Chain A
Amino acid sequence: MSHKVTNDEGMQFNREEEEENDDDGDGMDLDAWERAYADERSWESLQEDESGLLRPIDNKTLSHAQYRRRLRTTSAARVQKGLIRYLYIIIDLSRAAGETDYKPSRMVVVARQVEAFIREFFDQNPLSQIGLVTLKDGVTHCLTDLGGSPESHIKALMGKLECSGDSSLQNGLDFVQGLLNQIPTYGHREVLILYSALSSCDPGDIMETIKKCKASKIRCSVIGLSAEIYICKYLCQETGGSYSIALDESHLKELVLEHAPPPPAIAEFAIANLIKMGFPQRAAEGVVSICSCHKEAKVGAGYICPRCKARVCELPTECQICGLTLVSSPLLARSYHHLFPITPFDDVSPSVANDPRKLPKNCFGCQQSLLNPGKS
């Protein structure tokens, strides 16, 4: 038995060595020892305590506590929140996004987090829409228009991962502001910027652009990857967004995901609005019909707009023909969680929890075992 284990380890070791050799061949002109010094920084995971002893850095508990605190503050007061959000994610793909202080590189990490975010976002805000924009070579590129389908966004994002040139915050904001201005007033306009660079090369006066964003009530939030930049801070302050800097990948994830639950509505924006919505029936099973969203004939499941009877493939969406917002009631219900949050659970001491007579063994909702969390 033991012999086998050592064998396995040896094999693993060999494999790692091979990988390293492969890397060397990839045009990385640093020697292995140099790279270890420059990139891996094994000493970083250690820190010195008061008595001079080394111990691993314990960021997790700290950040976890931070996260919990934030959750509590957001759920404490009952505030009005915008449920229908139109969010543009601006991803900075300038030269700085190629830096390797996040492994393997900033842009890969960012893309990974954005992917997770998009899924989480649609899970929590089924009625909302996202658009993706990148900044590269001082120019803004639109990856996807506003839309409600996570898959199409993710596909577009993953296809376009290369970085070069400078980034221009002003160009990005101008572009997004132009698009968001056309959104109906009940929707909440938001921009989330993932900024790798430490400067912004702008063609004009960015202050004007910030003023415009403020005037059209766009909430801009920035997540920086390296350090605090004044202009970003100013932008967030002016437009009511949040500005945060990621310490490492896990912290970045946390910060990005913080933007998934809807933010409190801007005060002057918070007038109650009635929105016309359609609840289409799932219909046309097995019938060939022309889909209004893909402009082609499709067979199988789809939804019929209750007003103009056009066929759409998925919900939520806006009817291409008559412009009616199409949702389903479960989606609406899910969004309502943000308005009426579940009261925090009470902690139960383990002794009580271990007493099988007092408490049920399984969760009544999902039937997971409460005694051994993690195993069903």
Chain B
Amino acid sequence: MKFQIEDVTVYFPYENIYPEQYSYMIELKRALDAKGHCLLEMPTGTGKTIALLSLITSYSLSKPSNPVKLLYCTRTVHEMEKTLAELKLLHNYQVKHLGPSARILALGLSSRKNLCVNPAVVSAENRDSVDAACRKLTASWVRALAAEDPRVSTCEFFENYEKASSDAVLPPGVYTLQDLRTFGKEKGWCPYFLARHMVQFANVVVYSYQYLLDPKVAGIISKEMQRESVVVFDEAHNIDNVCIEALSVRVRSQTLEGATRNLNKMSQEIERLKATDAGRLRAEYNRLVEGLAQRGNLPISDTWFANPTLPADILKEAVPGNIRRAEHFLSVLRRLVQYFKGRLQTENVEKEGPVTFVASINAQVGIDQKMLKFCYDRLYSLMLTLEITDTEEFMHIQTICDLATLVGTYTRGFSIIIEPFDERMPHIPDPVLQLCCHDASLAIKPVFERFQSVVITSGTLSPIDLYPRLLNFNPVVSRSFTMSLTRDCICPMVLTRGSDQLPVSTKYDLRSDPGVEKNYGKLLLEMVSVVPDGVVCFFVSYSYMDGIVNSWHESGILKEIMQHKLVFIETQDVVETTLALDNYRRACDCGRGAVFFSVARGKVAEGIDFDRHYGRLVIMFGVPFQYTLSRILLARLEYLRETFQIKEGDFLTFDALRQAAQCVGRVIRSKADYGMMIFADKRYSRHDKRSKLPSWILSHLRDAHLNLSTDMAVHIAREFLRRMAQPYDKTGAMGKRTLLSQEDLEKMVNGVSDMLF
């Protein structure tokens, strides 16, 4: 269908549109017109992605003189593929209606692991080793060597790509990762480098958050994007954590040992080079005198790591004299590693700011702030000179330099925390030195500044006024949309009491109470006997889950649960969890029924959908607060209070509730689906907690369901499941229009245009 929003003709590939999609597009259009940033919350399963894509592409089609570019950021490769598939559908529709002039180039960009077609390289087990294997074949000196000596192997795809040089372009169209690989294989061109090259010319680029937020990567990939771009962060409820993660570094004793090994190897190399090819070292020295490596002139295959600080912070000055010579630089690094080793030997937890940390480095090992700041670039330059291709092996020294540069650059928003052992296991010494970033706005600031519009969207962004404060920006539009449903297909409940009417909670003083554990067990037992197929349980932490499952096992509750459903548990091991999930799905499919025990903030809670029969009920046991005794968290809370005036309690509750909402939101992924959500903790009934849930959950949370005991909840569940199993009318009769056709929209625009609001 096609319709007008103000001056833009929107091409939408489906026959009907949901009213909330329509209003979402209107808000988005306003934000684009105002060239500002926006924050939009809309529940999953309402077609957020297609609404976004069709509006932005139509917007850019309607302004052919100044088309906007779309940078779409997703969290996972799976989401990336889904987005591209939708875009393909949309693109076909637009081309059908507008002819070939509507053709655009859209592609996904991912790591080598996902794009490589060279069978020898892609067989490596993880991302880093694929990267390293690729560099071994494509680095410029390797290729130069191969030109002389045919025994040195290179990658034929990359060679072909280089040979084709400017002819190597992608014809317009939408390319998923699979399409890129097929195209690459067909032409014999390396799809990874082709995609990286084409990103500059593409109309739509779909890639991961890191390509924009992590300064190490963003410097390479996203440097040449034009200002007239729309950046979309999808599923962005955790964007602050991603930002912080991008600028945080942790150093363990293994890292330091590895770094020492790296340094030894490098000094051997230098000795060797001195004997054979002293000229190269001298050339590097001269280059450093002039200023840092001119990265722009290097061939693209060599740009494999960039400065971890933000582009604005890189000073255009020469490397300090005392680290220009390779031996000198190595000895500086040696002293630094030695200093870190000394610091790790502490018995107490230490916490200091970057300024004092730098001062103490200067006092003890004589490295000043400016030298620290240049560590990363200097190392980069040295590794190029030494022609080191195995970046995986040299990961450790990179981490050290990363930390040094960050500490040398920023004076605010960070802190150094040294912990001699894990708080939860005080008997095992496991010293760790962490550089924690507290300010999410640091990493995302350049994105807001460089691009005309940034769209942050997710199913759970409540409370919506907190995000602008955390990320320090001013949205022109911030709106939360609810779902229009033909029937009440979600049933949230707050369970405050067990079957014996005693309160249940995972509050610290109550959590190990056997009565509470028993009540939680009884709740699950009752629920598995009335809910068909899949049930998902989320616990607040791994240790709590272990404890409670253990006690259920001892009291025999687990055995009774097993009579109704099979039990699967998420562990910290990814492979094991994947296997468990797979079997869980099979048990749901074949009618045996299954329960999945999972942890809030875990991998499963973030990325796995439990839609349809895979999750008819999700129980959130307790409120998933962060581990409040963690030093990192305490430091961040202090920073937030001082800088943004956000109260500790507010932030903790906000964070816990968004995790809870994220967990329970797993259960419903489309309008035709249905599911129940139980918040099993008495604290959820309090207004300050409850009000932070997203509005699409709140609007279904009836007052009668706020203070339930187990037996009442079981009864409600029974009724709900029976009601939902009845056949229903999908288009929504009885005056509740949930699907709008083109005519409806036209009528709406001509008549009362703000009927929706």
Residues of A near any B CB (own CB < 8 A): 37-38, 41, 96, 101, 166, 169, 198-202, 205-207, 224, 226-232, 244-247
Contacts and interface: CB of A to CB of B under 8 A. Distances in A.
A47 to B, nearest CB: 11
B590 A198 contact: no
**Residue of A230, A231, A246 with highest tally of chain B CB at under 10 A:** A230
A245 B591 CA distance: 16
B725 A228 contact: yes
B518 to A, nearest CB: 19
Given A198-B530, A198-B531, A231-B591, A226 B565 contact: no
B294 interface: no
B187 interface: no
A245 B726 contact: yes
A98 to B, nearest CB: 12
A247 B722 CA distance: 6
Nearest to A168: B591
B715 interface: yes
A231 B534 CA distance: 12
Interface residues of B, number: 27
A226 B720 CA distance: 10
B438 to A, nearest CB: 46
Top 3 nearest A-B pairs (CB, nearest first) are: A231-B591, A245-B725, A230-B613
28 contacts: A41-B715, A169-B591, A198-B593, A200-B591, A200-B592, A202-B590, A202-B592, A206-B591, A207-B590, A224-B725, A226-B718, A227-B530, A227-B531, A227-B532, A227-B721, A228-B532, A228-B613, A228-B721, A228-B724, A229-B532, A229-B591, A230-B589, A230-B591, A230-B613, A244-B725, A245-B725, A246-B722, A247-B723
B252 interface: no
A41 B716 CA distance: 12
B718 A199 contact: no
B590 A206 contact: yes
Interface of B: 529-533, 563-565, 588-593, 612-613, 616, 711, 715, 718, 721-727
B564 A198 contact: yes
A231 B565 contact: no
B71 to A, nearest CB: 39
Given A200-B591, A226-B530, 10 more contacts: A199-B591, A200-B590, A207-B590, A228-B532, A230-B532, A230-B533, A230-B588, A230-B612, A231-B591, A246-B722
B75 to A, nearest CB: 28
A244 B725 CA distance: 7
A199 B592 contact: yes
Contacts of B726: 244-245, 247
A166 B725 CA distance: 23
A96 B532 CA distance: 12
Contacts of B592: 199-202
Nearest to B593: A199
A101 B718 contact: yes
B722 A199 contact: no
Nearest to A224: B725
A244 B728 CA distance: 12
A8 B715 CA distance: 36
Given A226-B722, A245-B726, A198 B588 contact: no
A168 to B, nearest CB: 10
Given A169-B591, A229-B591, A247-B723, A199 B715 contact: no
A226 to B, nearest CB: 7
A115 B317 CA distance: 93
Contacts of B721: 226-228, 245
Contacts of A246: 722
Contacts of B532: 198-199, 226-230
Contacts of A201: 592
Contacts of A202: 590-592
**Residue of A41, A169, A201, A226 with highest tally of chain B CB at under 10 A:** A226
**Residue of B589, B724, B725, B727 with highest tally of chain A CB at under 10 A:** B725
A198 B711 CA distance: 19
Nearest to B721: A227
A38 B718 CA distance: 13
Nearest to B534: A230
A218 B422 CA distance: 62
Nearest to A227: B721
A62 B164 CA distance: 71
Nearest to A198: B532
A228 B532 CA distance: 7
A166 B529 CA distance: 12
Contacts of B723: 247
Nearest to B612: A230
A232 B590 CA distance: 9
A202 B531 CA distance: 19
A225 to B, nearest CB: 9
A227 B727 CA distance: 13
Contacts of A245: 721-722, 725-726
Contacts of B593: 198-199
B722 A227 contact: yes
B725 A199 contact: no
A41 B712 CA distance: 10
Nearest to A248: B722
A231 to B, nearest CB: 3
Contacts of A230: 532-533, 588-589, 591, 612-613
A38 B715 CA distance: 9
Contacts of B529: 96, 198
A24 to B, nearest CB: 21
A198 B722 CA distance: 12
A229 B590 contact: no
A208 to B, nearest CB: 11
Contacts of A205: 590
**Residue of A206, A224, A229, A246 with highest tally of chain B CB at under 10 A:** A229
Nearest to A199: B593
Contacts of A229: 532-533, 591, 613
Contacts of B727: 244
A236 to B, nearest CB: 12
A40 to B, nearest CB: 12
Nearest to A204: B590
A101 B714 CA distance: 12
Contacts of B533: 198, 229-230
B725 to A, nearest CB: 4
A224 B531 CA distance: 13
Contacts of B563: 166
Contacts of A232: 591
Nearest to B594: A199
A30 B400 CA distance: 68
A131 B718 CA distance: 31
Nearest to A230: B613
A96 B533 CA distance: 15
Contacts of A101: 718
B725 A227 contact: yes
A38 B593 CA distance: 26
B105 to A, nearest CB: 41
Contacts of A96: 529
A166 B562 CA distance: 12
A38 B711 contact: yes
Nearest to B528: A198
B614 to A, nearest CB: 9
Nearest to B711: A38
A207 B725 CA distance: 22
Contacts of B530: 198, 226-227
Contacts of B565: 199
Contacts of A231: 589-591
A164 to B, nearest CB: 12
A199 B613 contact: no
B718 to A, nearest CB: 7
B539 to A, nearest CB: 23
A241 to B, nearest CB: 14
B712 to A, nearest CB: 10
Contacts of B715: 41
A246 B592 CA distance: 21
A198 B725 CA distance: 13
